[in-house]
Amino acid sequence: DQQVKQNSPSLSVQEGRISILNCDYTNSMFDYFLWYKKYPAEGPTFLISISSIKDKNEDGRFTVFLNKSAKHLSLHIVPSQPGDSAVYFCAASEAGNTPLVFGKGTRLSVIA
């Protein structure tokens, strides 16, 4: 029973365009959401997070949107760059230091 789902295993985007990565969750107790980026042979690197009291958080080219009623969040990268090519994981947790539950990841390829 997957509590965090990333339904697109891969995504290709032209350099300079917007990349939109989607994530759905089922656990209504989740109140903290994160996106991680992973290159081959490296550990995941934190990108951006959002708490359930917000619906948007922005950091440079990265923006995360949260729709609690739909149990959906998305990561927007604009403009996309070739260096953004990696696997992106969505993660969620309940309040406090509970385990982060990860999706299966979406492989983003930004084509020059």
Residue 42, number of CB atoms within 10 A of its CB? 9
Judged by CB under 8 A, does residue 102 bind another protein? Answer: yes
Residue 12: what residue type? S
Structure tokens at 97: 């230091």
Closer of 44 and 110 to another protein (Cβ): 44
Write out the H or E segment, with its range, that includes residue 63.
Answer: strand 62-67
Helix and strand totals (H; E) in the chain:
0, 11
Residues 56/75, Cβ–Cβ less than 8 Å: no
Q: Please give the span between the terminal C-alpha atoms of the chain, in angstroms, as a whole number.
A: 38
Closer of 69 and 97 to another protein (Cβ): 97
Span 14-73, contacts to another protein by CB under 8 A: 32, 34, 36, 41-46, 49, 51
Choose which of 85, 89, 92, 110 interacts with another protein (CB under 8 A). 89
Closer of 52 and 79 to another protein (Cβ): 52
Judged by CB under 8 A, does residue 101 bind another protein? Answer: yes
Binding site for another protein (CB under 8 A): 6, 32, 34, 36, 41-46, 49, 51, 89, 91, 95-105
